[in-house]
């Protein structure tokens, strides 16, 4: 927990958590459901990300601690809520990291089919564990280069796709909007489908909040965190909206599927078959990078819970490298347990429910960030200390309230959509059970204290 992360590390760690293998493999699902209108859904998702990250920047600059929104929730909302949010967030990554490792295993088994994808997943799990147990600057450096590979790939795709669209390369001539609007128009399933897709897209954007968890290990939080938040937010919007806009301009949306990367499929149509293998390598680095960031976030949240007496005290341990090694080991063991569950029964309902919960608990974490900032700013304003803040959310409280209520609307929508409803069935208990446990434990301690007179 030493201040060894540079500004470039912070920016790329957050991007690493956002651009996972699901972005390269799963974009087909988004296009199938919303068609070209998915562009609007990504834009709306990007605006919500911006609101949340501005709130997080204000909190993290004022109080740069590794526990981030878990600690902010305890101080500004309530300890009971913080306990629920912290454990739900940890479970989010414990469910999501194995899915990335399994994706990496599937990719490697295509190259070396004689080795089971499960063994590849375990190998990547070991690799990520070792990276996370090093001094934090080594972790930051590895994540910097892994994330950079993904960014370079998306920039390369955007350039090639743009040239195809303009007819500069390939024999198809100038395409313009003929492919984009050629299969049922901009919103073939209606605009309501676009809003439903935006709910799913928010899951893709999760990971940006890791900047807050890394705040306590940043060498100059007051300078690097606002810069990282601004840059990461705009880069996320650019790295999603521009490549996907160009993708839909060269690949008919109704040809998108989950069978292969839509980016590779689009380029293969125009004779660029070498990109298929290239994107397999990119997806592999994306899976490792996203798992890397996710395990970092899970371990820091668990360590914060231990520091606040909401998790076993032994998890407070820091090793000689300044890393919460026991929190990391427990997190990775939980990830391996999910991988084992998947190996025993790939169609396991438990695994499906664990994966679904990431959407719900991620939204709860983001709502907590905005809610904490709202209550903290109001308290500071009442004390007349608003001018002491080094960084302020612009247009307060409108930006903060939009960030809260837009996500509340998303959670309400989830209750009415059958395929998203399971996220609520899994997520609500994950949030409430730790809260109930904490409340009961506090009551028991109060009773014991009254009996003993302490």
Assign 377 a pLDDT band (cuts: 50, 70, 90): very high
Q: Are 101 and 94 in contact (CB under 8 A)?
A: no
Assign 370 a pLDDT band (cuts: 50, 70, 90): very high
Q: DSSP letter for 295, please.
A: H
Residue 292 lies in a domain: yes
Closest CA to 301 of 327, 321, 325, 332: 327
% of residues, the chain, pLDDT over 90: 13
Residue located via tokens 């302490």: 454
Query: Which segment of 22-26, 224-228, 273-277, 435-439 scores lowest on mean pLDDT?
Result: 22-26
Residue 328 lies in a domain: yes
Helix (H) / strand (E) element for 379: namely helix 349-382
User: 379: which 2 tokens?
Assistant: 């308290």
User: 4: which 2 tokens?
Assistant: 């060894």
Residue 347 pLDDT: 57
What is the distance between the alpha carbons of residues 151 and 13, in angstroms, rounded to a whole number? 12
Q: Mean pLDDT throughout 129-136?
A: 67
Residue 55 lies in a domain: yes
Q: What is the CATH number of the domain that holds 149?
A: 1.20.1740.10
User: In terms of pLDDT, which residue wins out, 256 or 367?
Assistant: 367
Q: Mean pLDDT throughout 38-46?
A: 83
Using alpha carbons, list the distances in angstroms from residue 153 to 104, 268, 329, 417: 17, 15, 32, 34
Q: Above 60 in pLDDT, residue 350?
A: no
Using alpha carbons, list the distances in angstroms from residue 347 to 122, 134, 350, 353: 19, 35, 9, 11
Q: Mean pLDDT throughout 34-48?
A: 84
Assign 260 a pLDDT band (cuts: 50, 70, 90): low
Going through 129-215 in order, the beta strands assigned E by DSSP cover none
Assign 1 a pLDDT band (cuts: 50, 70, 90): very low
Q: Are 131 and 332 in contact (CB under 8 A)?
A: no
Q: What is the pLDDT of residues 431-446, one digit of tens each?
A: 999 999 999 999 998 8
Residue 62 pLDDT: 85
Q: Which residues of 413-448 are buried (b: 16+ CB within 10 A; e: fewer)?
A: ebeeeeebebbbebbbebbeebbeebeeeeeeeeee
Residue 368 lies in a domain: yes
* Domain count within the chain: 1
Closest CA to 247 of 235, 237, 258, 255: 255
Q: Above 80 in pLDDT, residue 277?
A: no
Write down the mean pLDDT value for the chain. Answer: 79
Tally of CA atoms within 13 A in the half-sphere of 337 that contains its CB: 11
Q: Above 60 in pLDDT, residue 348?
A: no
Cα angle 383, 227, 214; round to 5: 80
What is the distance between the alpha carbons of residues 381 and 394, in angstroms, rounded to a whole number? 15
Q: Above 50 in pLDDT, residue 449?
A: yes
Residue located via tokens 């909007």: 177
User: 369: which 2 tokens?
Assistant: 């960030």
% of residues, the chain, pLDDT over 70: 81
User: 65: which 2 tokens?
Assistant: 């601690």
Helix axes 38-62 and 398-416, enclosed angle (nearest 10):
130
Q: What is the pLDDT of residues 305-332, one digit of tens each?
A: 998 889 888 898 887 777 788 888 898 8
pTM of structure:
0.83
Cα angle 309, 315, 318; round to 5: 120
Residue 252 lies in a domain: yes
Q: Above 80 in pLDDT, residue 335?
A: yes
Q: Domain span at residue 373? A: 7-442
Residue 119 lies in a domain: yes
What is the distance between the alpha carbons of residues 26 and 393, in angstroms, rounded to a whole number? 33
Residue 404 pLDDT: 94
Residue 452 lies in a domain: no
Assign 388 a pLDDT band (cuts: 50, 70, 90): confident
Residue 399 lies in a domain: yes
User: In terms of pLDDT, which residue wins out, 48 or 320?
Assistant: 48
Assign 354 a pLDDT band (cuts: 50, 70, 90): low
What is the distance between the alpha carbons of residues 303 and 168, in angstroms, rounded to a whole number? 53
Residue 284 pLDDT: 78
């Amino acid at each position: 927990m030493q201040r060894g992360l540079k500004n470039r590390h912070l920016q790329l760690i957050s991007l690493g958590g956002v651009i996972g293998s699901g972005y390269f493999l799963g974009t087909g699902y988004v296009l199938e459901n919303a068609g070209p209108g998915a562009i609007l859904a990504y834009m709306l998702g990007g605006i919500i990300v911006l609101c949340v990250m501005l709130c997080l920047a204000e909190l993290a600059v004022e109080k740069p601690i590794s526990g981030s929104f878990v600690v902010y929730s305890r101080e500004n909302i309530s300890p009971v809520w913080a306990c629920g949010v912290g454990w739900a967030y940890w479970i989010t990554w414990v469910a999501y990291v194995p899915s990335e490792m399994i994706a990496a295993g599937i990719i490697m088994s295509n190259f070396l089919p004689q080795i089971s994808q499960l063994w590849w997943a375990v190998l990547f799990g070991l690799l990520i564990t070792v990276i996370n147990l090093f001094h934090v600057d080594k972790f930051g450096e590895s994540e910097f280069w892994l994330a950079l590979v993904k960014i370079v790939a998306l920039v390369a795709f955007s350039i090639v796709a743009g040239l195809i669209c303009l007819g500069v390369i390939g024999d198809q001539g100038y395409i313009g909007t003929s492919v984009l609007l050629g299969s049922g128009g901009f919103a073939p399933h209606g605009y309501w489908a676009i809003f439903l897709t935006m709910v799913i897209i928010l899951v893709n954007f999760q990971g940006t909040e890791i900047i807050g968890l890394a705040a306590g290990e940043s060498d100059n939080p007051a300078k690097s965190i606002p810069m990282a938040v601004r840059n990461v937010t705009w880069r996320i919007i650019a790295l999603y909206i521009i490549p996907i806009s160009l993708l839909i301009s060269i690949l008919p949306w109704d040809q998108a599927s989950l069978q292969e990367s839509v980016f590779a499929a689009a380029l293969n149509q125009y004779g660029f078959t070498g990109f298929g293998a290239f994107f397999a390598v990119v997806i592999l680095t994306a899976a490792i990078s996203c798992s890397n960031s996710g395990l970092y976030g899970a371990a820091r949240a668990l360590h914060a819970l231990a520091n606040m007496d909401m998790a076993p005290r032994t998890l407070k341990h820091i090793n000689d490298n300044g890393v919460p090694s026991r929190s990391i080991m427990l997190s990775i063991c939980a990830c391996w347990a999910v991988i084992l569950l998947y190996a025993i029964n790939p169609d396991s309902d438990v695994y499906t429910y664990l994966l679904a919960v990431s959407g719900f608990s991620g939204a709860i974490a983001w709502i907590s960030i905005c809610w904490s900032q709202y209550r903290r700013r109001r308290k500071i304003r009442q004390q007349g200390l608003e001018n002491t803040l080094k960084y302020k959310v612009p247009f307060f409280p409108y930006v903060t309230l939009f960030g809260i209520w837009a996500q509340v609307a998303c959670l309400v929508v989830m209750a009415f959509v059958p395929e998203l409803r399971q996220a609520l069935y899994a997520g609500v208990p994950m949030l409430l059970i730790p809260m109930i446990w904490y409340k009961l434990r506090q009551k028991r301690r109060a009773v014991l204290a009254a009996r003993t007179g302490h």
